[in-house]
Chains A and B, each alone.
Chain A
Amino acid sequence: SYELTQPPSMSVSPGQTARITCSGDELPKQYVYWYQQRPGQAPLLLIYKDSERPSGIPERFSGSRSGTTVTLTISGVQAEDEADFYCQSADSGGTYVVFGGGTKLTVL
């Protein structure tokens, strides 16, 4: 089955840069999307089509891709960024959606 792999957790200090990776063998065949989920809330779309930001998402959130790995970069991390982050993609035919296991970002 198609799987996406993320680091389970990451810690950064305020003002630093956090880079959360997502890897999967079939990533080159489809775009990747990123969501932020705060405790008790629904996921919020952060990045779509690898690197596009929806309106209202701060510029400090960015996405990039290199081969079978995509990266969510949070520049100048703020305390409010502490949350779980999920990558998501689909199989080559778009008939199956898969989420990564999530990365818990702690702001020290």
Chain B
Amino acid sequence: QVQLQESGPGLVKPSETLSLVCTVSSGSITNYYWSWIRQPAGKELEWIGRIYINGNINYNPSLKNRVTLSLDTSRNQVSLKLSAVTAADTATYFCARDLARLGWYYFDYWGQGALVTVSS
């Protein structure tokens, strides 16, 4: 059973960079795309972007200029960096396994989510 676990600071100051890591257990991250999705409290889901081992990366155009995605195959981890954060970036951030490699654009396994608050 694939398991995903997000980790990182729960509090980030405005204008700084939010950094999260998603550790994947049971299976190599090289076989799938991996997406990040976020959700402000009480609001809808918002896709941030996806990454694949061959270097393919897709971003939500609304966040593209501030997002960096990367993979660490030695640790089986997927990383998210979001720069120049504001209070509007306060949300629960989820990582998810993305079936895009198969031409089907959905998420079959999700992490439990990491709450990140942007505040001074």
Contact A42 B46 (CB under 8 A): no
- A95 adjacent to chain B (CB < 8 Å): yes
Contact A42 B110 (CB under 8 A): yes
Q: What residues of A have a CB within 8 angstroms of the CB of B58 in the complex?
A: 95-96
A-B contact count (CB 8 A): 59
Q: What residues of A have a CB within 8 angstroms of the CB of B108 in the complex?
A: 45, 48, 54
Interface residues on A, range: 20 to 34
A54→B58 CA distance, assembly (Å): 26
CB distance from A98 to the nearest CB of B (A): 7
Q: What residues of A have a CB within 8 angstroms of the CB of B45 in the complex?
A: 35, 43, 86, 88, 99, 102
- A61 adjacent to chain B (CB < 8 Å): no
Query: For residue B35, which residue of chain A has the nearest CB?
Result: A97
Contact A97 B44 (CB under 8 A): no
- A30 adjacent to chain B (CB < 8 Å): yes
Q: What residues of B have a CB within 8 angstroms of the CB of A97 in the complex?
A: 35, 47, 50, 60, 105
Q: What residues of B have a CB within 8 angstroms of the CB of A95 in the complex?
A: 58
Query: For residue A97, which residue of chain B has the nearest CB?
Result: B47
A88→B46 CA distance, assembly (Å): 10
A52→B46 CA distance, assembly (Å): 23
Q: What residues of B have a CB within 8 angstroms of the CB of A31 in the complex?
A: 104-106
Contact with B along A80-106 (1 / 0, CB 8 A): 000000101110001111111110000
- B111 adjacent to chain A (CB < 8 Å): yes
Q: What residues of A have a CB within 8 angstroms of the CB of B37 in the complex?
A: 99
For chain A residues 1-33, which have a beta carbon within 8 Å of chain B? 1, 30-31, 33
Contacts A96-B61, A97-B47 aside, 19 further interface pairs with beta carbons under 8 A come to A1-B61, A30-B105, A31-B106, A33-B105, A33-B106, A35-B45, A35-B107, A42-B94, A42-B113, A43-B45, A43-B107, A49-B104, A54-B108, A86-B44, A90-B105, A94-B105, A100-B44, A102-B44, A102-B45
CB pairs A–B below 8 angstroms (21 shown)? A31-B105, A33-B107, A42-B112, A43-B110, A44-B110, A48-B106, A48-B108, A49-B104, A86-B45, A94-B103, A94-B105, A95-B58, A97-B50, A97-B60, A97-B105, A99-B37, A99-B44, A99-B45, A99-B46, A102-B44, A102-B45
